[in-house]
Amino acid sequence: MTVNQNELLSALVDGELQGKELDDALQLLHVDEQARMQLQRYQHASDVLHGHSLGYQTIDLTTRISTALQDEAEFTLATKNNVSAQVIAFPKQFWKQTVSLAVAASIGALAVVGVMNQPDNQLIPSHQVAVVEIETTPMVVAKTGERWTVQEQEVEERLNSYLVDHNEYAGASGVFSYARVVSYDMGR
């Protein structure tokens, strides 16, 4: 044991080691039994001065505790903390703003849906809607002018009935009421 090593152990007793010096001390204690004994003697002297000791005997529980803990898994808490720290590394302000925005968007969406589902939609006066006449170029959507291009009459009727059923259901649910105005039969 060198003087420097003993000085290192003395500083460890006082809790004055950090970083690399603490690494060095831990490594020294790991490989050098004499260093462990020296540290325990320094610690014992300090304990005696503070009245913690029960006589001359220096106690060494490290061996029996190490043996008892031999089969225990080593912790990896620091790794877990790092991972979780990366996940929640956003500033608090970010989360506040995000939550506020989400709440505001939800309320806005509910309000719009509610207004749309009013029976006569009185909240939106129809006379305020401006009518603008614009020149439009006719565009051919379908050559036949029919919405369904099926050959068999039976299939066409079935499709129509599906559409009617759908419109009725949509009206009842209050969600897709706009579907009433695009029903097949009205446009025909």
Partner 1 sequence: MNVDLELVQRVQAGDKKAFDVLIMKYQQRIVHVITGFVHDPVEALDVAQEAFIKAYRAIPNFRGDSAFYTWLYRIAINTSKNHLTARARRPPAVDVDAMDATNFYDAPELKEFETPETSLMSDELQQAIHQAIQSLPEDTATAIKLREFEGMSYEEIAEVMECPIGTVRSRIFRARDAIDKQIQEIMGEGE
Chosen residue from 2, 56, 122, 130 binding partner 1 by CB under 8 A? 56
CB of 20 to partner 1, least distance (A): 12
d(CA 18, CA 56): 31
Q: Is 119 in the site for partner 1 (CB under 8 A)?
A: no
Do 183 and 167 contact (CB within 8 A), yes or no? yes
| Sequence-distant (≥ 6) Cβ neighbours of residue 117 within 8 angstroms | 174, 175, 177
For the chain, percent helix, then strand, then coil, each to nearest 5? 65, 0, 35
CB of 122 to partner 1, least distance (A): 60
CB of 84 to partner 1, least distance (A): 13
55 vs 145, beta carbon nearer partner 1: 55
Chosen residue from 33, 71, 74, 152 binding partner 1 by CB under 8 A? 74
Stretch that binds partner 1, among 7-15, 95-103, 120-128, 166-174 (CB under 8 A): 7-15
d(CA 120, CA 126): 10
Q: Is 88 in the site for partner 1 (CB under 8 A)?
A: no
- Burial class (CB within 10 angstroms; exposed 0-12, middle 13-18, buried 19+) of 167: buried
Q: Is 66 in the site for partner 1 (CB under 8 A)?
A: yes
Contacts 24+ apart (CB under 8 A), 100-108: none
CB of 17 to partner 1, least distance (A): 6
Q: Is 79 in the site for partner 1 (CB under 8 A)?
A: yes
Q: Is 85 in the site for partner 1 (CB under 8 A)?
A: no
How many residues touch partner 1 under the rule CB under 8 A: the total is: 53
